[in-house]
Amino acid sequence: MPKRIIILGAAGSIGRQSIEVIRQSAATEEPLVLAGFSVHHNAKVMLSLKNEFPHARAAYTGDAASAPTGADWAGPEALAQLLSAVQADIVVNGIAGAAGLSASILALQNRMHLALANKESIVMGYRLLKQLADDNELSIIPVDSEHAALFQLTQKIGMHAIAELTITASGGPFRTLPLERLAEMTADDACKHPVWKMGRKISIDSATMANKGLELIEASKLFDMPQEHIRVLIHPQSYVHAMVRTFDGALYAQISEPDMRLPIHAALHWPHTYPSPFGHAELAGKTLEFFEPERNRYPLVWLARNAMDAGDAACIAYNAANEIAVARFDAARIRFTQIAQVVSETLAHSWNLPVSSFEDIFDIDMKARQIAEELVEHIAW
C-alpha cells in the first residue's frame, strides 16, 4: 500500500517542498500519495493542487467567506475537519508559528504520525505531544534540517553513547556586518538569506539567530539533552547540519546539500532509507568553516539558554515574545536590535508557572504576547 500523506500549510515553503517530494516519488518504487492538504489564504495554490491531485481533500483555514469553490472544508474548523475525515500515514506540519501547535495535537489525536517542521510545536508543548504520541503508538519525526540530522545520527549511533550535540547555523545575512549597523537593517534586508529560501518569519529569525535559540530548545526537548551539552556553531556553507560527540571523543557529522527536500524525503519514507532524487553532497573542492557565534551579535541564542534554565513556561514566553517582536519589526514598528530587547524584557517577568496541560500552554503564550505587545508600545524608536 502506498503511504498516504497530508500536508498542512501546503502553500508555504515547507508545504511546497513537501509537494515536490510527493511529485518526485511518483515514478519510484515507493510512491507517496497526497491524501489531503491545507492552505491558509492561498486560493490559487489550493485550486492548482486540486487540479494536479484530484483525489486529495482540501481545507481552506482562512476566512470561510473568501474560500474558493472546490475547498472541501473552510473556516476555523477546517483543519480539524480535514484531519478527522481523511486518514493518512503521516501528517506534515508546515504551518508557521504558534498556530501549528493545535495542528500537531489534532494530527496525533487522529492517530497519524507527525513529520514536524513547525518547531514552535516542540518548543511550546513537546512533553505533552510526546505523551499523546506514545499513548497512540505514534512517532514524531523532526523535519527541521538540524534535528532531522540529529534524528539520523542518534538513531544510528545510539543516545547512550552520545555526550554532546551540535547544531549549525548559517549566521544569516548580517554575519559580517559591522555591529553598529545592525540597528538600521530592515525586514527586507533580513529576508535576504544567504543559503535557504524560507518564509519571512523564519528568515528574520535566522538573521537574529532566534531561529537557533528555538532550535536549541527543540534539540534539548527532542533528544532529552540539557542545554549545556548542546553547542551552536556558525557554519556559513550549511553543509554540515548537525554533529554528535560520543563519550570516546569522536565527532560524527551529518552532511548534505542545504535542501529542505532532503529532510522531508527522509521523514516521509522513515523508518526506511530510500534513494533520494535530490542530489548528494560532494566535498571535493569545498572549504567548510566553523565559528563560535558572537554574543553581542546574536543575544537571542543566550536568551534561549536562559529560558531553558528557567523552565518550560519561559521557553513558551521566549517563542511568544519573539513572534510579537518579529511581526512588529516586519511592520517597521521596532528596530532589528529591539527584537532581542523585547524578548529579554518579557523573560525578565516571572515564568515560574506549571505547564501540565495544553490549556496552560495557550494561557502562558497569551500572557507573554500581552507583555511583549505592551513593551513594543513603550519602546523608543
Binding site for ligand NAD (CB under 6 A): 9, 11-15, 40-41, 61, 94-97, 99-100, 117-120, 144, 196, 198-199, 202, 260
Which H helix or E strand runs over 310? helix 299-310
Q: How far is the CB of 241 from ligand NAD (least distance, A)?
A: 11
- Closest residue to Mg ion, Cβ-based? 144
Site string for Mg ion, 120-159 (x = CB under 5 A): ------------------------xxx-------------
To the nearest whole angstrom, how small is the minimum distance from the Cβ of residue 117 to Mg ion? 9
Residue 118's binding partner out of ligand NAD, Mg ion, none, with CB under 5 to 8 Å set by partner kind: ligand NAD
Pick 120 or 144: Cβ nearer Mg ion: 144
Q: Residue 10 has which C-alpha cell?
A: 501546503
Q: Decide which of Mg ion, ligand NAD, none touches 61; Cβ closer than 5 to 8 Å per partner kind.
A: ligand NAD
Nearer Cβ to Mg ion (38/145): 145
**CA nearest to 94, candidates 16, 195, 159:** 16
CB-nearer residue toward Mg ion: 146 or 345: 146
Output DSSP code: residue 40.
Answer: S
Check: CB of residue 118 under 8 Å from CB of residue 104.
Answer: yes
Residue 235: φ, ψ to 5°: -140, 90
Helix orientation angle between 145-157 and 210-222, rounded to the nearest 10 degrees: 30
**Shortest distance in whole angstroms from residue 214 CB to ligand NAD:** 7
Least distance in Å: CB of 222 to ligand NAD?
13
Strand order in the sheet with 140-142: 73-74, 57-60, 32-39, 3-8, 90-93, 113-116, 140-142
C-alpha cell at 122: 516542540
To the nearest whole angstrom, how small is the minimum distance from the Cβ of residue 94 to Mg ion? Answer: 13
Indicate the residue among 122 and 243 with the shorter CB distance to ligand NAD. 122
Handedness of CA 222, 259, 207, 322 (dihedral sign): negative
